[in-house]
Chain A
Amino acid sequence: MGNASYLAVAFEGILLIGALVVLLVAVVAGRSRAVWAPIAGASFLLAALAGVLQWIEVENGGGGMFFSAQNLQVIKSPMVVLDGFSAMASIVLGLVGFTAMLGSWDLVAKVGKRSAEFVALSLLAFAGLHMMAATPNLVVIFIGLETASISFYVLAGFIRADVKSDESALKYFLLGSLASALFLYGIALTFAATGSLTIYGVNSIRDFFSETVVSDPGILLVGMALMLVGLMFKISAAPFHQWAPDVYQGAPSGAVGLMAAGVKIAGFAALGRIFVGGFISQIDTWGPIVAVIAALSMVIGTTMALVQTDMKRLVAYSGVAHSGYLLLTLLAGVEGMSAMWFYLATYPFMIVGTFAIISTVSGPTSTSSPIEAMRGLSRRSPEMGWLLAIFMFGMSGMPFFAGFVGKILAFIAAGDAGYIWLVVVATLTTVIGFAFYLRVVATVFSGEDDDTTMIDPTLSSRFAVVIGATVTVVFGIVPWILIDVVRDALPL
């Protein structure tokens, strides 16, 4: 147990301590938001900083597996893994969490007494999300998933007075539990088939594949399939996506960015960890299925987004399509991981920024946000209007925005893996997708001149949006900075 092992769990540790401090301060020093704003912000930033330290440690060869029971000098069942993959997850989740928290601050300010709980839950949720990326143990992945999910169920229903928020939370809870159950069952069956719960290490799933000729793979395959279903639900890939638009719309606007961005990052991190890290030798089995799911997600997400009238539903469906693009990177196996991290390091910022703007325009507690509400935004709040346009361009994959580079890298990953038909579908949906993103932009820049109800965004949401837009633009113009970094964000 060296220092590295503490570093490996630093992200979770910092956020957990942050959450506890927030709760304690709430009890001891009264309920003043001014106190826990710095605590929450500092926790996320420190966590991201820990991620940077982890990254440096990994670059210097200090990565590895930790918290294993040492039994007769054999390292068994490690619980935490420190590699480029998990360090990158720390950095991205820390920074996205920080930005998303800024975007949610309007909501925090509105929920009065309960704001401490909101902040603590967000911190806990992100700790759980990172666990999904930083453990080789399937059970710990599941626990991390549940930590995040339970927190997010509550955040979705945070506005008790609004029946839509209640409905959203309950829907998310019921369906999410179903997906979690399937995922857990998948883990159980995998354990039954391989006799192991760890992806790496001695007696791991990877060892099982390299040492055993799988003659009768039925139960293993079902286990794999169920784990896929569970994670596909979390990243809202079609056809497991139907909850997303309803939940996004029903949840308070201020909380959605936090949920949507966080789940996307961790869901894909877990997919990468399990399927590229552990089941890479079975890629011929799960590859085609992931390809079909990707195609379905892109087509359904894009088509449904075309007919939406609500901003939040539109972003939800666009998120379904983006899950499809992100799935392309999985198909290339380990080579695709850097493309995946490029995407995950940029796209979530666009989600967070967009929802910060939605929350500013429609109100942080609002449970619907018609696109029409954006009409004339470029005049009512020029900065928000322009920055929303940047996010829309970024998501649509317009050149010179980060989304474009992310998509190109994903397309190339899929092309390298031999899925040319999928690339054709992806380009087609990308091109069709321009239509609804630009419709939003057009709405923002149109409208009658007499509609001059000015919108004055708060300082925190301004920060959130500016950070998001900076990421979107900078990594669109000078993407190689990030490309060079994510090249090392590989699982062990």
Chain B
Amino acid sequence: MTVSLADWFREAANWAFMIIAIPTLFAGWRTVTSNNIVRAVLYLVVSLAGTAALFIMLGAEFVGWTVVLVYIGAVIILFLIGIMITRAPLGVDADLSHARNVRTPAAVLGVLLFAVIGYAVIDAFENSMIEPFEPTATADLANLLFSRWVIPFEVVSFVLLAALIGGIALARKDDNGAQR
């Protein structure tokens, strides 16, 4: 089943998608280009919120709220606190703007990577419609997580443990002084 352009515009969800997607994209763009580090972080918040909204639109309610809670709620706050308690410059930082000779190839490369992957994805699905399905309930997700995916779930604790130990190891001071 294929959809025509006119059909596409008639669908309200598509309008909602555009309304969310365009600011998200813009915020992502500003995150990379902003000269002010605090502003960059705030743009990142917008971008992440947009992503969360898209997830919710897709029916992945749990993932959407996880993004809000973990990324916006925790990670970004850590970023900001980190910036404020260290002596990082709060205003415009000239070092943050990339030289033009770096900017151009980076942009070309980014576009190229996007084009290649985008081409493959569009080529695979074309404009065929994917059967709509029920939004995933958080309870179902939990059931899956603790039955089929219990091993990966347990294994993720390895990663967290390693990250925790790593954080401690890097943060604490040696008792017998620094080695050179």
Give the residues from 143 to 180 in chain B that come closer than 8 angstroms, CB to CB, to chain A.
147-148, 150-152, 155-156, 158-159, 161-163, 165-166, 168-170, 172-176, 178-180
Would B178 and A161 count as touching, CB distance under 8 A? Answer: yes
In angstroms, how far is the closest chain B Cβ from the Cβ of A146?
5
Give the residues from 57 to 97 in chain B that come closer than 8 angstroms, CB to CB, to chain A.
none
| CB-nearest residue of chain B to A166 | B170
A77 to B151, CA, bound (A): 11
Would A150 and B151 count as touching, CB distance under 8 A? Answer: no
A193 to B120, CA, bound (A): 11
Q: Does A153 contact B (CB under 8 A)?
A: yes
Would B179 and A161 count as touching, CB distance under 8 A? Answer: yes
In angstroms, how far is the closest chain A Cβ from the Cβ of B138?
19
Q: Please give, as numbers and ranges, the residues of chain A lying within 8 Å of B166 by CB-CB distance.
A: 117, 121, 150-151, 153-154
| CB-nearest residue of chain B to A128 | B158
User: Which A-B residue pairs are the 10 nearest by beta carbons?
Assistant: A161-B178, A154-B166, A219-B124, A117-B169, A79-B151, A69-B148, A218-B120, A222-B120, A218-B123, A112-B176
Q: Does A111 contact B (CB under 8 A)?
A: yes
Q: Does B129 contact A (CB under 8 A)?
A: no
Q: Please give, as numbers and ranges, the residues of chain B lying within 8 Å of A16 by CB-CB distance.
A: 158
On chain A, the number of residues with a Cβ less than 8 Å from chain B's Cβ atoms is 52
Q: Which of B124, B150, B151, B156 contacts A216 (CB 8 A)?
A: B124
**A227-267: contact bitstring with B at CB < 8 Å (1 yes, 0 no)?**
00000000000000000000000000000000000000000
A143 to B156, CA, bound (A): 6
* A140-B161 CB under 8 A given contacts A218-B119, A218-B124: no
* A125-B116 CB under 8 A given contacts A113-B175, A117-B169, A162-B179: no
Q: Which of B155, B163, B175, B180 contacts A140 (CB 8 A)?
A: B155
Q: Does B12 contact A (CB under 8 A)?
A: no
* A154-B159 CB under 8 A given contacts A161-B179, A218-B124, A221-B120: no
Would B159 and A160 count as touching, CB distance under 8 A? Answer: no
Q: Does B139 contact A (CB under 8 A)?
A: no
In angstroms, how far is the closest chain B Cβ from the Cβ of A113?
5
Q: Does A124 contact B (CB under 8 A)?
A: yes
Q: A153-B166, A154-B162 are in contact. List 19 more A-B contacts (CB 8 A).
A: A67-B150, A67-B151, A110-B179, A113-B172, A113-B174, A113-B176, A117-B169, A124-B162, A128-B158, A139-B152, A143-B155, A147-B158, A150-B163, A154-B165, A160-B173, A218-B120, A219-B120, A219-B125, A222-B121
In angstroms, how far is the closest chain B Cβ from the Cβ of A13?
11
Chain A interface residues toward B at CB < 8 A: 12, 16, 19, 23, 67, 69, 76-77, 79-80, 110-114, 117-118, 120-121, 124-125, 127-128, 131, 137, 139-140, 143-144, 146-147, 150-151, 153-154, 157-162, 185, 189, 192-193, 216, 218-222, 365
In angstroms, how far is the closest chain B Cβ from the Cβ of A77?
6
Would B148 and A77 count as touching, CB distance under 8 A? Answer: yes
A113 to B176, CA, bound (A): 8
| CB-nearest residue of chain A to B179 | A365
Question: In terms of DSSP, what is the predominant structure of the interface of chain A?
Answer: helix
| CB-nearest residue of chain A to B156 | A143
Would A162 and B180 count as touching, CB distance under 8 A? Answer: yes
A162 to B158, CA, bound (A): 28
Would A154 and B170 count as touching, CB distance under 8 A? Answer: yes
In angstroms, how far is the closest chain A Cβ from the Cβ of B73?
22
Q: Please give, as numbers and ranges, the residues of chain A lying within 8 Å of B150 by CB-CB distance.
A: 67
* A159-B159 CB under 8 A given contacts A112-B174, A121-B165, A218-B119: no
A153 to B155, CA, bound (A): 19
| CB-nearest residue of chain B to A79 | B151
A-B residue pairs in contact (CB < 8 Å), sample of 9? A69-B147, A121-B165, A124-B158, A125-B162, A137-B152, A140-B151, A151-B162, A151-B166, A222-B116
* A159-B179 CB under 8 A given contacts A117-B168, A118-B169: yes
Q: Does B117 contact A (CB under 8 A)?
A: yes
A380 to B75, CA, bound (A): 53
Chain B interface residues toward A at CB < 8 A: 116-117, 119-121, 123-125, 147-148, 150-152, 155-156, 158-159, 161-163, 165-166, 168-170, 172-176, 178-180
Q: Please give, as numbers and ranges, the residues of chain A lying within 8 Å of B165 by CB-CB distance.
A: 23, 117, 120-121, 124, 151, 154
Would B174 and A216 count as touching, CB distance under 8 A? Answer: no
A112 to B117, CA, bound (A): 48
In angstroms, how far is the closest chain B Cβ from the Cβ of A265?
18
Q: Please give, as numbers and ranges, the residues of chain B lying within 8 Å of A77 by CB-CB distance.
A: 148
Would A192 and B158 count as touching, CB distance under 8 A? Answer: no
A146 to B120, CA, bound (A): 27
A69 to B143, CA, bound (A): 12
| CB-nearest residue of chain A to B158 | A147
Would A114 and B124 count as touching, CB distance under 8 A? Answer: no
Would A160 and B162 count as touching, CB distance under 8 A? Answer: no
Q: Please give, as numbers and ranges, the residues of chain A lying within 8 Å of B155 by CB-CB distance.
A: 131, 140, 143-144, 147
Would A121 and B124 count as touching, CB distance under 8 A? Answer: no
Q: Please give, as numbers and ranges, the residues of chain A lying within 8 Å of B116 by CB-CB distance.
A: 222
Would B168 and A216 count as touching, CB distance under 8 A? Answer: no
A161 to B177, CA, bound (A): 9
Q: Which of A69, A219, A365 contacts B121 (CB 8 A)?
A: A219
A144 to B125, CA, bound (A): 31
A127 to B152, CA, bound (A): 13
A147 to B125, CA, bound (A): 34
* A150-B124 CB under 8 A given contacts A143-B152, A161-B178: no
A114 to B176, CA, bound (A): 10
A365 to B176, CA, bound (A): 14
| CB-nearest residue of chain B to A226 | B117
Q: Please give, as numbers and ranges, the residues of chain B lying within 8 Å of A80 by CB-CB distance.
A: 151
| CB-nearest residue of chain B to A111 | B174
Would A143 and B170 count as touching, CB distance under 8 A? Answer: no
Would B159 and A147 count as touching, CB distance under 8 A? Answer: yes
A80 to B163, CA, bound (A): 23
Q: Taking each of A110, A114, A365, which has the highest tally of chain B beta carbons within 10 Å of its own beta carbon?
A: A114
Q: Taking each of B116, B151, B152, which has the highest tally of chain A beta carbons within 10 Å of its own beta carbon?
A: B151
Would B179 and A127 count as touching, CB distance under 8 A? Answer: no
